Every structure is written in structure tokens, then in C-alpha cells.
């Protein structure tokens, strides 16, 4: 059934759906998209297409909500993110996919179990710098780092629009670094065609735009409640997928 559907249409539909989720909650959509692309495409092709799609999805979301971006957090995030470029070169060990998925999935549970005085909070300077280093570095070596990024925002008291806007800006940066890093693999990546990339980019922008009115209607309290629920659900799915790959 799926084989009969053109790849551009299939990718476009998936990207619209995941971009709407990310556009409302600033999370989850990217990880779900990576999981689906990993099934549909070879890993190098999935990494490149995911990076391009997420750059436009997050970049457009940052543009839409630009007045809500906390530039102080962005500055500290960048201080940590750019040194992370040396991680893939300096560290010989790269965790395999099952270990990466299990670690990412457990991260939200560990973070939420921390006492208030130790809770991760992107509004704190040192936490934002560490966030930039860990998230950007993990994006480069593993392709996704959404659950880790979410743990730095899920217990903050920021306005929901500021959370979505600021996370979008950080993710646009991280995905641009990832695309540049994995760009060396372009010669090894099957040619997906301009139609697939074009459909993915347009779908990312469309899904992000559609999510805007929904985010406006949410209250900060509902946003935080749904955010925490989604973080934990996505974390559980990530752990289960990692265990599945480990066993089978």
C-alpha cells in the first residue's frame, strides 16, 4: 500500500503532521519524524532529509514567534553549542542506536525526578550553556536530541510562546550544524530528488503555520501539563524502540 504512494507525498504528509505537533508544543515532532524516516529511508538519507526539514520547520517557527525569543538563552546556548562541533572528532566512541534511544528516552524521567533545587532550567546561564553543548553535540552524533532539550524547558516558568520560540531558534541552529556535518555524506546518500526535499520543506512551513492558532488558544498551565505528558510519552516510546532494537 505504502509502496504505491509517491515518496514526496508520503514524506510531505508525515512532515505536516509532525510539524503541527512541534508547532504547538515545541517538541516531539522531530523525534517522531526521525523514527519514521529511519524506517522509510537509509540512515544517511534520513539524517540529511530530517536535518533539512527540521531546519525549515524550526526556522519558520522562530520567525513566526520571533518577538517571544529569549535572546539571552540563545546567546548562552551558542556558547555551548559551537564547542560541541569538536565532539565527533575528539571522541572516538559514538553510542549505537539502541543505547542512544534508551538514554534519550530515560532523560525526561531522570530530569523530572530531580529535586527543585537541582532541576534543569534553561533560564539559568550555566544550564543554558550546558544545554547548548549537550544538545548540539548529540544532534551531530545521534541525529536527534529533542527529549534532552525538552528537559531544560519543561519545568521552567517561561510563557508557552517564549518556550516554543526559543526552542525553535536553538533547534534551527543545531540542525544547521547537523546538515553541515552530514553534508560530507551527500555523495553516499541516494538521490531522493528535488520533489521530495521540496515537499518536505513546504510541508514543514505549512504544518508550523497551522499550529500557530492552536498555541495561542492554549493557556500556560495547559501547555505545561500537556508538555510534560508528551515528553514522558515520547521518552517511553524511545526507550521501547531502543529495547526492541537491542533484542531483535
CA distances from 222 to 85, 111, 174, 213, 216 (A): 36, 20, 28, 15, 12
The per-residue pLDDT of the chain, averaged, comes to 80
CA distances from 160 to 104, 127, 157, 167, 216 (A): 23, 19, 9, 11, 9
Distance of alpha carbon 142 from alpha carbon 120, whole angstroms: 22
Q: Using one digit for the tens of pLDDT, what is the confidence trace for 203-222?
A: 888 988 888 888 888 888 88
Nearest to 134 by CA among 118, 119, 122: 122
Backbone torsions φ then ψ of 41, nearest 5 degrees: -130, 160
pLDDT of residue 99: 75
Q: Using one digit for the tens of pLDDT, what is the confidence trace for 70-83?
A: 999 999 999 998 88
Domain residue limits, the chain: 2-247
Whether the full predicted model's pTM is greater than 0.85, yes or no, is: no
For residues 233, 239, 240, 244, the Cα torsion angle rounded to the nearest 10 degrees is 160
Amino acid at each position: 500500500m505504502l509502496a504505491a504512494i509517491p515518496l514526496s507525498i508520503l514524506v510531505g504528509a508525515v512532515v505536516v503532521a509532525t510539524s503541527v505537533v512541534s508547532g504547538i508544543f515545541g517538541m516531539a515532532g522531530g523525534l517522531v519524524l526521525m523514527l519514521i524516516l529511519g524506517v522509510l529511508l537509509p540512515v544517511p538519507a534520513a539524517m540529511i532529509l530530517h536535518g533539512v526539514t527540521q531546519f525549515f520547520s524550526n526556522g519558520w517557527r522562530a520567525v513566526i514567534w520571533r518577538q517571544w525569543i529569549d535572546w539571552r538563552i540563545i546567546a548562552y546556548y551558542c556558547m555551548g553549542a559551537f564547542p560541541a562541533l569538536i565532539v565527533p572528532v575528539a571522541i572516538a566512541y559514538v553510542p549505537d542506536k539502541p543505547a542512544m534511544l534508551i538514554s534519550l528516552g530515560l532523560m525526561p524521567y531522570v530530569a523530572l525526578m530531580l529535586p527543585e533545587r537541582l532541576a534543569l532550567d534553561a533560564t539559568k546561564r550555566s544550564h543554558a550553556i550546558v544545554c547548548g553543548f549537550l544538545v548540539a553535540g548529540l544532534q551531530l552524533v545521534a541525529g536527534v536530541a529533542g527529549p534532552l532539550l525538552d528537559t531544560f524547558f519543561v519545568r521552567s516558568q517561561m510563557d508557552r510562546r517564549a518556550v516554543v520560540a526559543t526552542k525553535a531558534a536553538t533547534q534551527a541552529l543545531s540542525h544547521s550544524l547537523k546538515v553541515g556535518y552530514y553534508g560530507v555524506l551527500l555523495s553516499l546518500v541516494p538521490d531522493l530528488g528535488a520533489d521530495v526535499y521540496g515537499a518536505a520543506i513546504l510541508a514543514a512551513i505549512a504544518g508550523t503555520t497551522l499550529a500557530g492558532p492552536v498555541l495561542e488558544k492554549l493557556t500556560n498551565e495547559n501547555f505545561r501539563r500537556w508538555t510534560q505528558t508528551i515528553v514522558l510519552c515520547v521518552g517511553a516510546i524511545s526507550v521501547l524502540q531502543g529495547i526492541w532494537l537491542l533484542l531483535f
